[in-house]
Each structure stands twice: as C-alpha cells, then as structure tokens.
Amino acid sequence: MTPRQLRALFIGFGNVGQKVAEILFLERERFPNLRDLDLSVVGIVTKTHGALVNNNGVDVVKALREIRELGRFSWTNFELVSISGLDAARQLEYDVLVELSTLSINERGEPALLHIHEALQRKRHVVTANKGPLAFAYSDLKSLADENGCRLLYESTVMDGTPLFSLAQSGLRGCTITGLKGILNSTTNFVLSRMEQGERLEDAVKTAQKEGFAEADPGHDLEGWDAAAKIAVLANTMMGATITPFDVDRQGITHLQVEDVQKVSKAGKHLKLICTAKREGAAVRARVALEEIPHGDPFAPVGESGSILSIETDLMAPIIITETDPTLSDTAYGVINDLLSLRDECRVSGIR
Ligand SMILES: NC(=O)c1ccc[n+]([C@@H]2O[C@H](COP(=O)([O-])OP(=O)(O)OC[C@H]3O[C@@H](n4cnc5c(N)ncnc54)[C@H](OP(=O)(O)O)[C@@H]3O)[C@@H](O)[C@H]2O)c1
C-alpha cells in the first residue's frame, strides 16, 4: 500500500517543535529510514510568537528560519494568521495534533488538555510530549480516544525518546506491572551529582541552564513537580492508576546543602531523587523522595543528566532501562517515533 500523507497541526513550536521540524524538513536526507514519513504541517500555533496556517502545507523551512532569525513568524509571511491553539484544534483540517506546548501544573495540564480533548472529540489522532494532560486526565483522554477510534501517543513525555511506553504496551504482553522506580528528572540528578563534587546548588542549576536542559525557571524541577508529573504519567498509563501530581507524596531538593550531599557520599552512597509507584491493593501509591543509594546499585552510576527506570512485573524479573546524556534530538525522536507508529497503523487499517 502506498504511504499516505499525514496532515499535522503543531501546537507549540519551542525547543521540541523546532527540533522535530529540523529533523523532518531540514535534515531528512541524513536519516534514510524517515524517507517515507510523508508529513504535511497544516498549522503551527504558538502562544506569543504567531501562528501559521496553510491547508496545502506550511512552508516549515521558512517557519524555522523566521523563528530563529526574527524570534517570531514574520509579519510578511502570507501564512500568518491570528488563531489560538484551541481554535486551531477545533477548526483546522488535520489528521494528527502534535501537542508540544508548555507543561502546566497549577492549571492542571491546561490548556493542552483542552487542545487534546478537542482533537480526540473530532476523531483526530494525538501525539504529545507534554506530560500535563496525561498526568491529570489520562484515563478520560484514553477512553475518549478509544471511543472515537483514534490514537493517543506520548513516547516523549518521560525519559525523552526512550521507548518506555511502546515496551510496556507491546513488549510486555500478558504482564501486569506491579511497581516502577526511576530517576526521571535530569535537572535534579545533575544538581545532586555536581553537589557531590562540592558545587553549590545555585551554581549547579546555572550550569544545567547553560547546558540547556534546566528551565529558565527551574522551580518545577527542584521542587519535584516535574518528577511527580512523570511518575503520575507512568502510573496512569502503565498501572491503570488515576492519580495526579497532587496525589504524589513529593519531596524536592531545594533545602539541601553541599555538606548534606557530601556526607552521604562519604558514607559510600549517592543521594538521588527517586520516583516510585507501587500497587497497594486496588490503589497505586506514588512518591518522589530523596534516597541514599549504595554503590553497586544499578541506580548509583546514573549521574548528571541521565535517567533510569526499573519496571517490575508479575511475570518477568525487573527490567531496567537507562538513558545517558540525552539531548533535544532524543525528545524529538520520541515524537517522530509516535508519528511513524501512527503512519504504520493508518497504513494497515486504512484509518485516517
Ligand atoms: N525540552 C525537552 O527536552 C523536553 C523533554 C520531554 C518533554 N518535553 C515537553 O515538551 C513540551 C515542549 O517543550 P519545549 O522544550 O519545546 O518547550 P518550550 O521551548 O517552552 O516551547 C513551548 C511552546 O509552546 C507554546 N505554547 C505555550 N502555551 C501555548 C498555548 N496556550 N497555545 C499555543 N502554544 C503555546 C510556546 O509558545 P510561545 O513561545 O509563544 O510562548 C512555545 O512555542 C513541554 O510540555 C515539555 O515539558 C520537553
């Protein structure tokens, strides 16, 4: 069967959106196995940097150039329109919403949650790297997707593009996931690694910002909210939980001094911010807490911006996946991997 073109609407065109666009539209020849992913981007919507719409396909290369050179889409670009993310999700003709807007905790995943809800309601597929909607409303969104015969894919929400969710869904058939344990936030892991070497928390955060993986406002990371959102996503999607980040027993690292971290290190252990989810009867309990990890534990060598997840099941011994020094390309790959899955499924089933 000939590959079909997927019409995509991008909401959010920041670091991740631009990297996806760069790989698919600027650097495509470098990646031969992407050659038959035929994507037409019919809209790109940002919050404050403009929106582009073209039913025949936005000129993505031009969009990238403009946003990088001018800091926004050009006023002279004939594709420039005034439209919100929600109106775009509601009105434009597309096959897949690629939701890459900012994580919101206080607003409980909004407005991304509304964008995704609207797309699924209209029987459109969704690919997202935004944890918020899944951390706050996975089970509702999944039911809506199933009722409407569409796919909700989110491989980049946790550990960037590492294929965690595809492993859990297709590699562990028949297993019940009974527990999850991970180091899931790069900023806190980096800061703790640097504090072990004597760097102050504030200085380590500045280094993480310079290296590009800590947010300009690192509060969400340092206070454990990003980790809480990630373990909520994992528990909701892999363990059938219906928790939100507010239900996670959460600890951050802002209270720590270099001496606290080095004391643990001198005792032959490493201080790590560990996320866990455990089945307790019918409920799933999730936690983000500092733990002292002994040398020799598989979690001990996960330093700097690395991540790790251990998946416990009833049928298999724990499976441990690690990610070392991820970059933006890893996150972009997760989004592209989801688009490829969708392309393949549409090809087999003929669904649009
Ligand atoms: N960066 C990573 O490595 C990484 C890894 C895994 C997951 N993620 C997740 O991926 C998503 C995107 O991350 P990012 O690093 O690309 O973020 P970013 O650079 O801050 O970009 C966010 C984009 O979303 C747009 N946006 C925000 N609110 C919007 C709204 N209400 N309507 C329309 N557009 C809106 C922003 O527009 P303006 O710029 O105009 O405000 C911007 O284009 C986030 O949810 C993040 O948590 C990121």
Quick one: pLDDT at residue 2? 44
Task: Provide the β-strand partners of residue 224.
Answer: none
Same domain, 319 and 205: yes
Same domain, 205 and 259: yes
Same domain, 105 and 203: no
**pLDDT tens digits, one per residue of 311-346:** 999 999 999 999 998 999 999 999 999 999 999 888
**pLDDT tens digits, one per residue of 93-102:** 999 999 999 9
- Give residue 280's domain range: 169-325
Nearest residue CA, atom 12 of ligand 1?
100
Letter for the amino acid at 343? Answer: R
Same domain, 177 and 146: no
Same domain, 130 and 109: yes
Phi, psi of 233 (to 5 degrees): -60, -45
Task: Provide the β-strand partners of residue 126.
Answer: 97, 152
Residue 334, ligand 1, Cβ within 6 A = no
CATH code of the domain in which 281 resides: 3.30.360.10
Task: Provide the β-strand partners of residue 320.
Answer: 310
Q: Return the sign of the alpha-carbon dihedral for residues 170, 175, 177, 183.
A: negative
Residue 72, ligand 1, Cβ within 6 A = no
DSSP state of 53: E
CATH code of the domain in which 105 resides: 3.40.50.720
Residue 130, ligand 1, Cβ within 6 A = yes
Same domain, 123 and 181: no
Residue 111, ligand 1, Cβ within 6 A = yes
When the pLDDT of each residue in the chain is averaged and rounded to a whole number, the result is 95
Pinpoint the alpha helices (H) of the chain. 15-21, 60-70, 85-91, 112-121, 131-147, 164-166, 186-196, 201-210, 219-222, 225-238, 258-266, 328-349
Residue 90, ligand 1, Cβ within 6 A = no
Letter for the amino acid at 108? Answer: R
Same domain, 43 and 113: yes
CA dihedral (187, 188, 191, 197) in degrees, to 10, reads -130
Structural contact between residues 302 and 325, judged by C-beta atoms closer than 8 angstroms: no
Same domain, 176 and 309: yes
Contacts of 283 (CB under 8 A, 6+ apart): 241
Same domain, 174 and 256: yes
Residue 191, ligand 1, Cβ within 6 A = no
Pocket test for ligand 1, best of 20, 83, 102, 114 (most atoms within 8 A of CB): 102
Structural contact between residues 332 and 17, judged by C-beta atoms closer than 8 angstroms: no
Which value, in Å, is the radius of gyration of the alpha carbons in the chain? 21
Same domain, 106 and 207: no
User: Residue 16 C-alpha to ligand 1 middle, in angstroms?
Assistant: 7
In angstroms, the CA 201 to CA 186 distance is 14
Q: What is the pLDDT along the chain (352 residues), one digit of tens a residue?
A: 345 799 999 999 999 999 999 999 999 999 999 988 999 999 999 999 999 999 999 999 999 999 999 999 999 999 999 999 999 999 999 999 999 999 999 999 999 999 999 999 999 999 999 999 999 999 999 999 999 999 999 999 999 999 999 999 999 999 999 999 999 999 999 999 999 999 999 999 999 888 877 777 899 999 999 999 999 999 999 999 999 999 999 999 999 999 999 999 999 999 999 999 999 988 999 999 999 999 999 999 999 999 999 999 999 999 999 999 899 999 999 999 999 999 988 866 655 5
Same domain, 319 and 335: no
Residue 13, ligand 1, Cβ within 6 A = yes
DSSP state of 131: H
User: Residue 218 C-alpha to ligand 1 middle, in angstroms?
Assistant: 15
Q: Is residue 235 part of a domain?
A: yes
Tell me the C-alpha to C-alpha distance, in Å, between residue 85 and each of 8, 41, 129, 183.
13, 15, 16, 32
- Please give the tally of structural domains in the chain: 2
